[in-house]
Amino acid sequence: MEKKKSTAEKVGIAGCGITRPEVPPIYATSVFSFETLEDVDAVYEGDKPGYVYSRTSNPTVRLLEEELALLERAERVLAFSSGMAAITTTICSLVKPGDHVLASKVLYGETHKLFGELLPSWGVKVDFVELLETDDIESYFRENTRILYVETISNPLMEVSDIPRLCEEAKKYNCRVVVDNTFATPAFCRPIEEGAHIVLESLTKYLNGHSDVTGGMAGGSAADIETVGKFRTLMGGCMSPFDAWLTLRGLKTFPLRMEKHAENALHLARKLERHPAVQKVFYPGLERNASYGIARKLLRNGFGGMLSFEVAGGEEGVSRLVRNLENVELLPSLAAVKTTLSHPAKTSHRSVPADTRISSGITGGLVRLSAGIETPETVWQDLEKALDELVEA
Ligand SMILES: Cc1ncc(COP(=O)(O)O)c(C=O)c1O
């Protein structure tokens, strides 16, 4: 019986003699040579396997894309040089002037800017709307609504989107549902299986998971992703082979890391909830969280590694907390192996106009915590001591 092809062989990565390297090589080449002009035609037209130029495709990048497609249950995935490259390229490939877009009110700051500034300047009408369980979603749609855009778990307020319900409504308007799954990751939610058309991830975060890569991906049907691919070639945001290789390495421990990130986040959320210097905790795994019901239905095996909390004393309180901490670092990203804090108003959501930011609940006292994979008790000792000092002062 013939052996099943490995993903490496599927994308054209060869073995060494009759053996295969355990770890596939990095194809650090920008271009590929041809024997004949006929072969050029055959590869360009897809009649023979091969590569041309790494802005369009590269074997190491393709290998990562195949692995991600399996994880996301997507027919096809494309890898990008950042999460924002994936988001901007995908959205630009799906809209044209005159179209209408619905976007969730609370989104990562740069994504908010894309919808709030760039698209309107190109003649695309964007409405930012509440997409929570209780809202009358149907009334938001128009005949020309082409995209409904949400984050599975919103940055930074951790609201969970009811993706199946949104997809049901969107279907009536022939509107594509595009989901940024960066906080939930495919470990806890697979938007494609829930009915979404396109899933986006910042690979900079959990999927690579070691704070040493900037990357992104878009996944969906082969037809949708082919369209996105044409724009990726034009806009030039393909991931580099070295970053793809590092992300492939990160993926090997992805399920294990996610289990621990989520376990630690729940542990810390419960502790924070009881601390007198903390006014409110935002974590979908807490019974009293507004998204708990949807989170229980949508998220499998855990509620993710991200939480936020409101510190007494507003921005001044956060400033003192950061100074009081000995080990937990202030880091304007997330998904590191160690626990880190960030201040959304000053970092990830800095580009959102202040009135919009504050009216959506992103206040000066809001801290975002990315739970690491350490022993959570050592993290809590540091946090508790720093928070205690706020109460004592
Ligand atoms: C939810 C979310 N989506 C997308 C991005 C953008 O990803 P990148 O920084 O890789 O461009 C971020 C960045 O923090 C994010 O938090």
Q: Is 109 in the pocket of ligand 1 (CB under 6 A)?
A: no
| Atom number in ligand 1 closest to CA 84 | 11
User: Is 205 in the active site?
Assistant: yes
Probe target for ligand 1 pocket from 178, 199, 204, 349, with the most ligand atoms within 8 Å of CB: 204
> Of 87-91, 129-133, 179-183, 353-357, which range is least confident?
129-133
1 pLDDT above the threshold of 70: no
- Contact indicator for 372, 265 with CB cutoff of 8 Å: no
Average model confidence (pLDDT) for the chain? 96
Q: Is 247 in the pocket of ligand 1 (CB under 6 A)?
A: no
**281 membership: H or E segment, kind and range:** strand 278-282
| Atom number in ligand 1 closest to CA 215 | 10
- Residue 181 Cα to ligand 1 midpoint, Å, equals 10
pLDDT at 173: 94
369 pLDDT above the threshold of 70: yes
392 pLDDT above the threshold of 90: no
With cut-offs at 50, 70 and 90, classify the pLDDT of residue 134.
low
- Residue 34 Cα to ligand 1 midpoint, Å, equals 38
With cut-offs at 50, 70 and 90, classify the pLDDT of residue 131.
confident
- Residue 241 Cα to ligand 1 midpoint, Å, equals 20
As a whole-number percent, the residues of the chain with pLDDT over 90 amount to 90
Residue whose C-alpha is closest to residue 93's, from 107, 105, 78: 78
With cut-offs at 50, 70 and 90, classify the pLDDT of residue 296.
very high
Q: Is 202 in the pocket of ligand 1 (CB under 6 A)?
A: yes
304 pLDDT above the threshold of 90: yes
262 pLDDT above the threshold of 70: yes
Cα dihedral 263/266/271/273 (nearest 10): 180
pLDDT tens digit sequence for 194-225: 999 999 999 999 999 999 999 999 999 999 99
Mean pLDDT within 285-297: 96
pLDDT at 61: 98
328 pLDDT above the threshold of 90: yes
Of 62, 76, 205, 260, the active-site residue reads: 205
Cα separation, 306 vs 264, whole angstroms: 10
As a whole-number percent, the residues of the chain with pLDDT over 70 amount to 99
Mean pLDDT within 362-390: 97
pLDDT at 97: 98
Does 7-251 carry CATH code 3.40.50.970? Answer: no
Cα separation, 197 vs 303, whole angstroms: 23
User: Is 55 in the active site?
Assistant: yes
Cβ partners under 8 Å of residue 390, min gap 6:
277, 311, 312, 313, 317, 320, 321, 324
Domains in the chain: boundaries: 7-251, 255-392
Mean pLDDT within 23-36: 96
Which residue's CA is minimally distant from atom 8 of ligand 1?
83
Cβ partners under 8 Å of residue 392, min gap 6:
none
Residue whose C-alpha is closest to residue 352's, from 164, 117, 132: 117
268 pLDDT above the threshold of 70: yes
pLDDT tens digit sequence for 136-194: 889 999 999 999 999 999 999 999 999 999 999 999 999 999 999 999 999 999 999 99
pLDDT at 8: 87
Cα separation, 182 vs 208, whole angstroms: 11
Indicate the CATH number for domain 255-392.
Answer: 3.90.1150.10
Which residue's CA is minimally distant from atom 10 of ligand 1?
83
pLDDT at 136: 83
Cα separation, 162 vs 145, whole angstroms: 19
Residue whose C-alpha is closest to residue 321's, from 385, 364, 276: 385
Helix (H, G, I), strand (E, B) or coil at 151: strand
pLDDT at 133: 64
Which residue's CA is minimally distant from atom 15 of ligand 1?
108
Cα separation, 213 vs 240, whole angstroms: 10
- Residue 43 Cα to ligand 1 midpoint, Å, equals 34
Cα separation, 24 vs 21, whole angstroms: 6
Mean pLDDT within 311-336: 97
Give the distance from CA 138 to its chain's centroid. Answer: 26
Same fold, 7-251 and 255-392: no
Burial class (CB in 10 A: 0-12, 13-18, 19+), 389: middle
Mean pLDDT within 362-372: 97
76 pLDDT above the threshold of 70: yes
pLDDT at 7: 86
With cut-offs at 50, 70 and 90, classify the pLDDT of residue 132.
confident
In the 8-state DSSP scheme, what is residue 278? E
Cα separation, 325 vs 204, whole angstroms: 25
- Residue 205 Cα to ligand 1 midpoint, Å, equals 8
Q: How many CB atoms lie within 10 A of CB 143?
A: 8
Mean pLDDT within 10-18: 86
pLDDT at 192: 98
